[in-house]
Amino acid sequence: MFNGGEYICGPPRDALVTFSVEDIAFRGRDGHECEEFVQAIHKAAYAAGKLRDDAWMADLAVTCLSGKALRYYDGLEPEVKRDWSLLRPALVARYSPPDDDEDEVQAGGYRMLQVLAPTGPSSPRLKARIGRIKVIGANSTDYGYLGNGKTCHEANGIAAGVSAPEAIRVGYVPANKPYEIEIRRSDGRCEALGVRWLRPSPSARIGCTDFAAITAFNYEGVYRSSKLKWSGPGYTRIWKVMADGTVYPHLEERGSYIPLHCIFHQASEHKTHAIDVAADGGAFVAKHSDWTLAKLLFEPIVQNPEGRPADEA
């Protein structure tokens, strides 16, 4: 029941609890604030008898947003904005809490981002394998390496088509489960290679054309952030490098890791080209004729005793 800006929450009547809508606010500070916000929306909806009304909860949520959260909301697709069942996972994915439990499964069936250091950027790992990532197309077409460049998604993002000297250096430590691949910048900074999905709650089912862009994520303590502000989740602990060097991104569904397909944007006005991942690569390229299937290959870099690549010595 609503009463002058307050919801009066349920029986028994001798223990009524009032819940003020004016107390609900979300500025987009961090994952903990996001969880409290989601819980507050659910409590308000329960008090008003609207817990199963996703449109009502979405309308309430937007009146409580400000700062970074409001700017993020403004960039979402209209269907996400008006449906709490889509808006909620988009917010939770955008403002993920720390990874306190490696095996904790988050909304949408994904594990949280891997934490390589408790605060600040990742520290170098002595056992990491260092190299570059080459992009190979159909019929062994050489699409160069992954590097920095302009694509159809970003003015300065991760792109295919650069030469070996221009390629980003990456490092990883093999593990049984998917892991992070670090980007090691020449200035000493480290980033994480990951994907940002276009839409919330992507699926890996056969025939699904959901896709994500391969992009760089900054280390922000236990968090990861990307400049690519799509409405879907962004994740970095998704990679596995096989014995033959093939690099596979993964998506976790119902406790299983599903390998994703890499796709390459053929028609481009730029020197470099977008490299994405798709749930079903065959279905995606059948629908989008300017994209083709591609493969990522890890190419080790031989280092001299000083730790520098031999080809840069």
Provide the pLDDT for residue 86.
80
Provide the pLDDT for residue 222.
62
The structure's pTM equals 0.59
Q: Distance from first CA to last CA of the chain, Å, rounded?
A: 73
Provide the pLDDT for residue 212.
94
Mean pLDDT by 10 residues, the chain (313 residues): 39 39 82 88 87 90 92 83 84 63 33 34 60 90 89 82 92 88 84 92 89 89 78 91 92 84 77 88 91 94 60 51
Provide the pLDDT for residue 7.
39
In whole angstroms, give the CA distance from residue 155 to residue 191: 18
Q: Which helix (H) or strand (E) holds 62?
A: helix 54-62
Provide the pLDDT for residue 190.
81
Provide the pLDDT for residue 306.
53
Provide the pLDDT for residue 240.
93
In whole angstroms, give the CA distance from residue 259 to residue 249: 6
**CA R_g for the chain:** 22
Distance of alpha carbon 43 from the chain centroid: 28
